[in-house]
Amino acid sequence: MNRERFSQWIALLRPGDFLTLGAATMVCVLSMLMLWRGGAPDKVVIRAGGEIFAEAGLSRSQVIEVPGPLGLTRIEIEPGRARVASDPGPRQYCVRQGWLTRSGAAAICAPNEVSLMLGGGASDYDSLNY
Amino acid sequence: MTPSTIEIRPTADDGRIARLAAAAIVLSVAEAAIPLPLPGVKPGLANIVILIVLMRWGWRDAVWVALLRVFAGSLLLGQFFAPGFFLSLAGQTASLIMLGLAMHLPTRWFGPVTLSILAAFAHIGGQLALARVWLVPHDGIFYLVPVFALAATIFGLVNGLVAGRLLKELAPPERDAGAAAVP
């Protein structure tokens, strides 16, 4: 298509049409950002003392026991979710977080140096530091 | 055979609406042959005709043409009273209501492209609302909203441009331009 014919089409647009077009594009982008954020997680990464201790899929139920300086941290995995079932730490923050279901979600048992993180899908966070 | 006592004389209006509806039906049948990746994402070429009718002859005629298109088009495609028919009817009704409101926008600022995009969004809105309530009673259906919104933007723009172009090139309203509405 040469430039003259292209400008013929552009001439059909009135000022308000550009406004409508812009609003429509905004709706597209916003709906993408709002509805396509995050995703279903598909794997669990368990770290102990900063090293990766285990990586497991989120498709079947299992219990993983992770040794740390204070004792055993018990991690429970069920289809689509995971949690820290018990931890020897004094304040139990990671246990009280309950089930993690979103990609990128993490539970950290700092005293026992164990962390649990869901991965896969599109995660909500690029990285977490502690 | 005894001659019928009731005589129906089609007025010039009836003839024009029938011709325009035929044009819209042809476009929706032709469009059904285009393979598309997702059910529900369609160019909606018949809306070009409906836009032209709206801008030239008014909302009442547009409603006639649009509803005739939905009913006759689904009869021809063999989906009369199938879910697709109700989705189409819901979308068309929503977009007609939207057009009825949007046609009062100042024409100096807003042309056929605005009407077309608004109608396309109303169309998917009506379809999604019915689908959510009746066919897929789960919020998962809204996962597809961005795809539908993108399709509505693109096809709304293209259809609006084509309708604007045809309105420009069509004969003035005094002459019957129904036949010329199909390029």
CA angle A10/A12/A17 to nearest 5° reads 90
Contact B121 A27 (CB under 8 A): yes
The alpha-helical segments, DSSP class H, found in A43-122 are 93-96
Contact A14 B160 (CB under 8 A): no
Nearest to B164 among A12, A21, A25 (CB): A12
pLDDT tens sequence for chain A (130 residues): 577 888 888 888 888 999 999 999 999 999 888 777 656 777 888 999 888 888 888 888 899 999 999 999 999 998 888 999 999 989 899 899 899 887 778 899 989 999 998 877 655 566 666 6
CA distance A39 to B159: 35
Beta bridge partners of A108: A115
Does residue B99 belong to the interface with chain A, where contact is any CB pair within 8 Å?
no
- Nearest CA to B119 out of B164, B155, B143 is that of B155
- Nearest CA to A82 out of A41, A123, A124, A121 is that of A41
Q: Which of helix, strand or coil describes residue A43?
A: strand
CA distance B51 to B160: 8
Positions in chain B short of pLDDT 70: 1, 40, 171-183
Burial class (CB in 10 A: 0-12, 13-18, 19+), A42: middle
Q: In what order do the strands lie in the sheet with A81-86?
A: A62-67, A72-78, A81-86
- B59-77 vs B12-32: helix axis angle to the nearest 10? 50
Beta bridge partners of A117: A45, A106
Q: Chain A contacts of B110, Cβ < 8 Å? A: 14, 16-17, 20
Does residue A13 belong to the interface with chain B, where contact is any CB pair within 8 Å?
yes
Contact A14 B145 (CB under 8 A): no
pTM of the model: 0.68
H or E element, residue A62? strand A62-67
